[in-house]
Structure 1
Amino acid sequence: MKVIMTTKVDLASMNIMEKLIENFGFDETGELFDGNPVFKKGDTLILMTNEEMIYYDGLDTSIEQQLGLKPEIIAFASRHSSKQKLPALTTHVTGNWGEAMYGGKDGSLAVAHPIAMKLALTKLNELNDLGWTVCYEATHHGPSELDVPSFFIEIGSSEEEWVNERAGEILAETIVYVLENFDKVPRGKFRTALGIGGGHYAQKETAASLETDLAFGHILPKYAQPVGEEMLLKAIERTSEGVDVIYTDWKGSKGETRQLARSLAEKLGLEFIKG
């Protein structure tokens, strides 16, 4: 079972949910999750909660307890906020490289699904007739305590964008596309990658994914560096497809971190790309 997670306290989330129901034929099941109606189409559920999703550690366990179903993957339909109020369509996996400031636990990473996120990124880019930025975000915020693959897909970055109907349509179509296709991609079609370096909006990793066969899971930005080898190993372990490549934005990384990335790739027999 595939899950689209929404929350009633998020305008973008409600915008996307509305478009999913209107345009893609999701119907009420009569069941409740967190006291809210459950919608279903085929093997995909739309669930809604009452609080911010970034604090929902153990969501996969809660779904099993309330509905008796183990999710295969969770797509969080969400808003993105920034001081710059950059109009953007983004995707990323969650977790905290260090201290947990916004949900999750310190030094804890959710399970990334690079193929699903690459499909999301490329579909967002294809459908983007708004002229907005389309990008990966670096791994940040919660929830981090999930044992099934998940990803956030977001409308940014102010209320004007969150309620934009076309943005809601693009996100809804992208989510449906990803959930219908992520498990049909042959293993080896894309090289899965751990991204090291760059800013929050991961420009180098975004360009590499859109222009090559690289599919990124966790991305460690420069502002979260340095980290120890154990965190890079954790990022590799918490990637559902495994990691083929360690990609480093060389100029966008701190010296000790880029050297650590290179040596770890050699030790593990992974391809190393100096971006």
Structure 2
Amino acid sequence: MKVIMTTKIDLASMNIMEKLIENFGFRETEKRFDGNPVYSRGDIFILTTNGEMIYYDNLDAEVERQLGLKPDMIVFASRHSSRQKMPSLTTHVTGNWGKAMYGGKDESLAVAHPAAMKLALMKMNELNDLGWTVCYEATHHGPSELEVPSLFIEIGSSEEEWVIDRAGEIIAESIMYVLENYEKAKFPVAIGIGGGHYAPKQTKRALETDIAFSHIAPKYAHLLSRELLLKAIERTWGGVNAIYVDWKGSKGETRQMARALAEELGLEFIRD
């Protein structure tokens, strides 16, 4: 079972859901989740909740409790908000490198699926006829307490963009592409370190080479530790082949820690 998670309080989420139902043959079932209709197409289910999805820890267990079905993958269809109001199409995995300010738990990371995020990034980039920014985001916000792989795919970054039909269509098609292809996709996988929130170097590397990124720790993750990097590796579906460092976009002590850990674990060390 694959889950597309939406919420009634998110304009972008509802836009994406509408396009999924209109364009991909989803049908309403007799099931309800959090009191809302459940839509399905084959083994893909669209679920809707009533609050902010970033606070929905243990969603996988709740799906199993309410529907009697165990999810293998959860894709959150969501808005992205930023003060810059940069029109964007983004993807990322969730978790907190430090204190949990917006959902999840402190120093807790969700299970990343690098191939799924790379497929999302590539498909959004391919379909992007809006001229918007397409990028990874660094790992941030909740939920972090999930035991199945998950990712957010988002329309950013203001109410003006959230309701644009074409943006909803691009994200809907990208989600379906991910869910139909992620299980057989194979890429070398790296943990990403350094750079800004929108991970420009990691995004460029993923779009131009075969590398797929798992968790990305930005330069502003001040509390990044060896233990958290090990946790990021552990919480990566399918394993990790490399540690990638945005050299100019990271601190000296972080670079050295990352290099030492790569050597210790026998991983490739990539500096950019």
With normalisation by structure 2, the TM-score equals 0.99
The answer on 1:205 being equivalent to 2:202 is: yes
Distance in 2, Cα, partners of 1:257 & 1:99:
19
> 1:26-65 residue pairs with structure 2 within 5 A?
26-65=26-65
> Match of 1:251?
248
The answer to whether the Cα contact below 8 Å between 2:97 and 2:223 also exists between their aligned partners in 1 is no
Distance in 2, Cα, partners of 1:19 & 1:269:
45
> Match of 1:107?
107
The answer on 1:195 being equivalent to 2:192 is: yes
With normalisation by structure 1, the TM-score equals 0.98
* AA matched with 2:83: K
> Match of 1:179?
179
Distance in 2, Cα, partners of 1:35 & 1:254:
48
Distance in 2, Cα, partners of 1:63 & 1:70:
7
Shift of 1:190: 1.3
CA-atom RMSD, angstroms? 0.5
* AA matched with 1:213: D
* AA matched with 2:159: E
Distance in 1, Cα, partners of 2:208 & 2:223:
28
Shift of 1:226: 4.1
Shift of 1:228: 1.3
> Match of 1:25?
25
* AA matched with 1:92: H
The answer on 1:68 being equivalent to 2:68 is: yes
Deviations along 1:101-140, one digit per CA (max 9) or x if unpaired, are 0000000000000000000000000000000000000000
The answer on 1:262 being equivalent to 2:263 is: no
* AA matched with 2:8: K
Deviations along 1:194-230, one digit per CA (max 9) or x if unpaired, are 0000000000000000001110010000001341110
> Match of 1:83?
83
> Match of 1:232?
229
The answer to whether the Cα contact below 8 Å between 2:63 and 2:70 also exists between their aligned partners in 1 is yes
Shift of 1:37: 0.2
* AA matched with 1:81: S
* AA matched with 2:126: E
Q: Percent identity?
A: 76
* AA matched with 1:262: R
The answer to whether the Cα contact below 8 Å between 1:97 and 1:227 also exists between their aligned partners in 2 is yes
* AA matched with 1:40: S
> Match of 1:274?
271
Distance in 2, Cα, partners of 1:44 & 1:20:
11
Deviations along 1:4-25, one digit per CA (max 9) or x if unpaired, are 0000000000000000000000
Shift of 1:74: 0.2
Distance in 2, Cα, partners of 1:8 & 1:255:
44
Distance in 1, Cα, partners of 2:255 & 2:106:
22
